[in-house]
Structure 1
Amino acid sequence: MAIYAIWNNKGGVGKSYLTFQVACEYARQNPGKKVLVVDMCPQANSSSMLLGGMVEGETRLNAIHSQTRRVTISGYLEDRIASPYQSPGTGSTYLTQVNNYNPAVPDNLFLVVGDEQLETQASRVANATRPGPQEAWRIVHLWVADLIEDILTHWNHEDSCVFIDCNPSFSIYTELALSAAERLLIPFSADGSSKRAVKAVLSLVYGVRRLPTDPLSEFVINNNQFRMRVPEIYMYIGNRLTQMNNSSASAFKTVVDEIGDEVWGVWQTKPNVFCLHPNGAPAPTNKRTFKAMFQYEVNDANTASVVSGARGVPISVLPSGRANVAGKSIVVNQSQLDKQVPNIQRLVRNIE
């Protein structure tokens, strides 16, 4: 069993789309495992896609949010705000079996539904870290870990895999998500702001500093103080990369290489923050073997990507041909599927 956080300190890199595709494909490739998605993003985009896309999924999401008992991540956090330092053990009651809403998704995929109320809860969650018992910060930052443990206990610790979709901002609920995760997937797009965002990830979570005088984040300081686990870097993923012509391909490659160099530099000084894979693989000894282990690229499938997310149909089972999206007929070409489906399938085969 492994717990993956999917996070970059930047919006627009396709983080929720990647969560949707990877979780569905992992569940499809591993029918004997239970797969859990914990949606820690207030926009709840991965929940919307999993529940059926931008029309049906949004309708189902709104219905779940409208229930008297809010069976969402915010509902669970309300339990924890009421009992901040003693777990109520209610995590498994916030599970949603996705296939009950969206038959395109494998029946071994489960979801803790995202919720916009995370934003309004953030200050109350942060307030629970102070004042309180001496280890209040540590206890509060383990709330999502407690949620996952409740669910795994409910499943009798059957073979499983967990994916946490994180919000781009480094907010308190993002910190809780990262504190629960064992491994980190870092999606990025091929632009300069993605490069800055990857640098921010390395700084905020792992304390990588440009200069010795640069301040450490409170998250790093408190993690060191309480000897908390941080997720090990498992993979950085160029997501939905588009290469339209030779000049744009060259520009994309330059940015991807620069991001790779940034992460490679961290490997050289802090190899302990990386997760070697597959299990038992030798440590990389040069940039080429490092890239082969830790870098991955996913091609953009253009219209097929849009249709997949909008209809809540995983791209690996999305048929070519005409598709109805919000009342409009859109053509999905097989060539578009051929761009991305093998990428996603290979990516997931590399996730243990």
Structure 2
Amino acid sequence: MTAIKRLCQSEFDKEKYKELVVFIDCNPSFSIYTQMALLSSDYLIIPMMADFTSLEGIKGILMLLSEQYPSESLKKYASKVLTFNKQVKRFELKLPKIKQFVFNNYTSNKGVAKAYKYIRQELINFCYKQYQSFLQYFTRNDNSLDSLITWQNAYFTNIKDFHSSGKVSASIGTPLHQLPDKGEKFKMPDGEEIPLAKHRYEEAVENIKSLVSKL
């Protein structure tokens, strides 16, 4: 189950690099690949959107980590069907800690989209309650974040929707952070020219820098 970590360690060239940081992009469903990714990771970065499917997804992750189920029937079902936690305990494996929640319903023009603010706050409130109840599953577990605001500033990052910038970056193979130096018009593989407002993808780069600074 830790094959991904072992593979990364075996491929790490210690002569060229001082350290190794690997990001594993997981399927949101709890497949065998997701389980392997979890057990090969030290930290979790959880992307979120302003919808209740994100809330249910976060509940699922936290139930998985803490084995706290909302009902006796679900707890009974999990004890019979789900073997993940049993295997973790049996082989003394280490579960990752939650490092950051990334919220991406953040538009270029108006910040956090108004229609999503209520659901977004519901997500934040729920995650904060889990932090208060299960400090051991978060990276900062010393009670230093003693209010919703300080906790939110530490654990939540807004990332603007990249829209055209992200599509152009992926299509022409130019990293997002290099786009500002390439001009404001980009020729796509099919020959079409796509204009991009330079300040928009500069903002996107700043968002990424803000996230990275918290990792």
TM-score if structure 1 supplies the norm length?
0.53
The structure 2 residue matched to 1:191, chosen from 44, 51, 56, is: 51
1:295 CA displacement: 0.7
Within 2, Cα distance between the matches of 1:335 and 1:244? 12
Q: Name the counterpart of 2:11.
A: 151
The answer (yes or no) to whether the contact 1:234–1:275 under 8 Å persists in 2 is yes
Q: Name the counterpart of 1:225.
A: 90
Call closer, same or farther: CA 1:311–1:208 in 2, change over 3 Å.
farther
Within 2, Cα distance between the matches of 1:332 and 1:194? 30
Call closer, same or farther: CA 1:190–1:310 in 2, change over 3 Å.
farther
Deviation digits for residues 104-131 of structure 1 (CA, Å, limit 9, x no counterpart)? xxxxxxxxxxxxxxxxxxxxxxxxxxxx
Question: Once the two structures are aligned, what percentage of the paired residues are identical?
Answer: 25
Deviation digits for residues 204-245 of structure 1 (CA, Å, limit 9, x no counterpart)? 344242234423442123223333111100001012533766
Q: Please, which runs of 5 or more residues in structure 2 have no aligned partner?
A: none
The answer (yes or no) to whether the contact 1:311–1:325 under 8 Å persists in 2 is yes
Please state whether the residue corresponding to 2:23 is helix, strand or coil. Answer: strand
Q: Please, which runs of 5 or more residues in structure 1 have no aligned partner?
A: 1-140
Within 1, Cα distance between the matches of 2:66 and 2:146? 22
**Number of residue equivalences:** 206
1:292 partner amino acid? N
TM-score if structure 2 supplies the norm length?
0.84
Within 1, Cα distance between the matches of 2:107 and 2:54? 15
The answer (yes or no) to whether the contact 2:106–2:161 under 8 Å persists in 1 is yes
1:325 CA displacement: 1.7
The structure 2 residue matched to 1:344, chosen from 200, 203, 208, is: 208
Note the aligned Cα RMSD (angstroms).
2.4
Higher relative contact order (CA 8 A, sep 6+): 1
Q: Name the counterpart of 1:266.
A: 130
Q: Name the counterpart of 2:159.
A: 298
Within 1, Cα distance between the matches of 2:6 and 2:24? 14
The structure 2 residue matched to 1:312, chosen from 173, 178, 200, is: 173
